A and B are shown apart, each in its own frame.
Chain A
Amino acid sequence: MLRRVRALTVKEFIHLKNDWWLPAFMLFGGVLELLLVGWATSRPITNLPMMVMDLDHSPASRELIDKLNNSETFEVGSYVRDFDEIEHALIHGSISAGIVIPSGFGRNLVHQDQNTRVIAYINGAESIPARVSVSTLTGLIREWNGEIFLERFQVSEEVQADITPRLRIWFNQELSEAFYTVPAELGLMLEFTVLLFAALAFSREKELGTLEQLLVMPYSSIEIIIGKAIPVVIIGFVDFCLMLTMTHYVFDVPIRGSLLMLLTIAFGYLLVELGKGMVISVISKTQHQAFLLVLLVGMGDFMFTGYAAPVEAMPEVVQFFAKFIPAQHWLFILRGIMLKGSGLDVLWPSLAALAAIGAVILFFSLRFVRRSLE
């Protein structure tokens, strides 16, 4: 049996050599993509274009503009005299926020007898920069208000320090965005490459009509499956190691827990996705179909992983189903080991869930693939 499996594996590798784009994509595409995406997205949102209409021209209004400029989130691009210009810029989407400082801003701030207002017009058509703008502005004004407030009540410095809660950040002191995004992107990249690679295994032979030839040869279906699986496993695992190395050395994401445990679980997870990919592979008649199914299944998983949006904010029903998605447990474990240095004592529920779901998926997909080959 071993010899026959070897022959099949060699055949697969010959295919890969002739069609070198696919393994190249598997091996380096993921790494390249991770580098690009990580580089582009693992940074705070900055330089949002802003327009200011200062009707006050007082020291106080200039202080406000300075504060805005210093915040890094904004870049005050232009000062205008007419509200029409802010309206025009908002409609054209060329600014994220327009600030209007009404006349009397500085005077009211000193005399304290009237409300001092600042009006922020936000471009809501892009909700992500819009929310960053709102929270930055709110924080800025709140901080300033705090200063004014304490000044008026002549509060001592010790009390002042005690009024704001002390903040401690665990696992990621610098609040690096890369810590959050890159490990998740790494985990998802592994899922997509393995799923795609496995899904092409049989659909390709079927489409080219070579599957019949393979089936009439004296190989058992199990041998064929193993022969198909070995290249996927090897390339998928090497790809993961490459991406992990890059995550660690390029993006400075730590691996605080046990590396051996991480690699072992990654290997196991890879087998689960392999099983799913093989099922897609046998139910698809063409590579076209296989590709579309991978995309839908992969994105379906992606939805529940909490990468883009926290799972706990989703409806209860969705949260319940999310527990049955291997990718969710995998990402949780991956992050736990890398960022929090968690061990089995914390991770065992997720690990047990992943193992159980994985075993079920593997068992049924193996049976399904075998049956459809016979």
Chain B
Amino acid sequence: MSIRHLMAVIRKEISHIIRDRYTLFLVLFSPTLLLVLMAYALSVDLKNIPIAVLDHDRSQLSGQFVGSITAGDDLDLFTFAEDLDEVEYLLESGDIKAAVIIAPDFSTKIRAGEGVPLQIIIDGTEPESGGFAVDQIGLRAEEFVTEKVFGGGQLGVQAQTIELVVLPWFNPSLKSRNDLIPGLLSIVLGLPAMLVALTISHEREHGTLEQLLATPVSRWEILLGKMTPYLIVGMANVVMIPILAIVWFGVPFNGSFGQFFILSAIFMFSILGMGLVVGVFMRTQSAALALSFLLIFFPGFFLTGIFFPIVSMPEIMRMESLAMPGTHYGIITRGVFLTGVGIEVLWPYVIMLFGLGVMFSFVAGLFFKKKLD
């Protein structure tokens, strides 16, 4: 392998990217743009869930109860419904996610200490919002009962119960943005890999691969040369994204930036290797595009444990997720950003990433030759 040959291929690839400003902009900034979009879209914590109240009691007590439910930020009173038909319509039209129905004997029963005749209806098609509403309403109802039925504070204090002290480490507010942004890095950095797949099949589609092979450049030099510009693109984003995450989204960064940079380079190597494999096997760009969506982009979302924990997946899926570079990188990014650990803890994942990278590149190099003969 000669440096001169390699540089020649790299120069050629770079000139493809910077040929026009539009392409340069898209290639360089699309990972960061995509991350910003997803950070806004995916990391919204539940609040302001609209609910309706059907109050059959219409007493002072039921009014107080409704006030206590909707006092916080969690639930918003959309409207007082007139009857059950209206509740049904509101749920069906999606205007509300849950409804509270207060029975006519609400205040009588509470005064008599006989319980709280209350019914909650939730929209089962949105279990997140619905479940959240149930939790909130249940909690308020409990407080209300404790206060009204069992005579308020004095009895409550005497009745010692279990206190649960929750101490979330590394992300005390449990804000989803704090761990989703580092997690999403592994998805958006997959974009350069998809582009590598496209450039290789691009040469074949245009018939320029023969020309390239007629030059004294070896296949390894071609592959490495194709990879390098996208490695640079990826690393530029590795610098831009944490800055944006810290300054704009307020995500903590507790680890070492130097280590993060190096570990990200290893991830880029392994995901770009995956891109090479796709590019080598596919004849046309559209086919390469289709396959890289199937192998790199979609699984990056669903199988790398960013949204759905790997431990909860079926056995086969767990095996598959181990073969995804994003799984290991997702653990690394969250470790560096939030836990503040470095290579001393993360080394097993680094080895996996490196191993996957070597394997992918090797497969790509091997079949690159075969496909040409």
Contacts and interface: CB of A to CB of B under 8 A. Distances in A.
A124 B30 contact: no
Nearest to A308: B42
A247 B134 CA distance: 28
Nearest to A165: B118
Nearest to A73: B312
B364 interface: no
A119 interface: yes
Contacts of B158: 112
A165 B43 contact: no
B70 to A, nearest CB: 14
A214 interface: no
B277 to A, nearest CB: 15
Interface string A160-178: 1111111111111101010
Interface in B292-351: 293-294, 298-299, 301-303, 305, 307-309, 311-314, 317, 331, 334-335, 337-339, 341, 345
A303 B289 contact: no
A287 B282 CA distance: 15
A92 B195 contact: no
A137 B91 CA distance: 30
Contacts of A175: 124, 127, 131
B92 A346 contact: yes
A171 to B, nearest CB: 5
Contact of B160 (A21, A116, A142, A339): A116
Contacts of A122: 166-169, 174
A47 interface: yes
Given A149-B159, A295-B34, A339-B125, A288 B164 contact: no
B66 to A, nearest CB: 13
Contacts of A295: 30, 34, 191
Interface residues of B, number: 120
B23 A286 contact: yes
B334 A125 contact: yes
Interface in A163-213: 163-173, 175, 177, 179-180, 192, 196, 200, 204, 208
B114 A162 contact: yes
Nearest to B339: A125
B244 interface: no
Interface in B278-293: 282-287, 289-291, 293
Contacts of B115: 158-163
Contacts of B120: 165-168
Nearest to B20: A285
Interface stretch (A51-59, A234-242, A309-317): A309-317
A308 B38 CA distance: 10
B248 interface: no
Interface string A112-155: 11111111111111111111001101110110111011001100
Given A134-B168, A145-B161, A336-B92, A91 B341 contact: yes
B334 A208 contact: no
Contact of B49 (A45, A303, A310): A310
Interface stretch (A3-11, A36-44, A270-278, A356-364): A36-44
A259 interface: no
A54 to B, nearest CB: 15
B165 A163 contact: no
Interface residues of A, number: 118
Contact of A340 (B125, B178, B205): B125
Interface string B243-256: 00000000000000
B49 A125 contact: no
B311 to A, nearest CB: 5
A286 B45 CA distance: 39
Interface string B75-86: 000000000000
A38 to B, nearest CB: 9
B20 to A, nearest CB: 7
Contacts of A204: 285-286
Interface string A294-314: 011001101110001110111
B41 A304 contact: yes
B307 A41 contact: yes
B129 interface: yes
Contact of A22 (B92, B137, B166, B286): B286
B123 interface: yes
A114 B119 contact: no
B89 A346 contact: yes
B92 A303 contact: no
B335 A172 contact: no
Interface string B5-41: 0000000000000001011001100100110011011
Interface in B187-233: 191, 194-195, 198-199, 202, 205-206
User: What 8 A-B pairs are tightest by C-beta distance, nearest first?
Assistant: A162-B115, A172-B124, A303-B41, A124-B171, A21-B287, A25-B290, A309-B44, A124-B168
Interface of B: 20, 22-23, 26-27, 30, 33-34, 37-38, 40-50, 89, 91-94, 97, 100, 109, 113-131, 134-135, 137-138, 141-142, 145, 149-150, 155, 158-172, 174-176, 178-180, 191, 194-195, 198-199, 202, 205-206, 282-287, 289-291, 293-294, 298-299, 301-303, 305, 307-309, 311-314, 317, 331, 334-335, 337-339, 341, 345
Interface of A: 19, 21-22, 24-26, 29, 32-33, 36-37, 39-41, 43-49, 75, 90-93, 96, 108-109, 112-131, 134-135, 137-139, 141-142, 144-146, 148-149, 152-153, 158-173, 175, 177, 179-180, 192, 196, 200, 204, 208, 285-289, 291-293, 295-296, 299-300, 302-304, 308-310, 312-314, 318, 332, 335-336, 339-340, 342, 346, 349
Given A93-B335, A167-B120, A289-B22, 11 more contacts: A22-B290, A29-B294, A36-B299, A122-B166, A131-B174, A172-B125, A200-B289, A293-B26, A303-B40, A308-B42, A310-B128
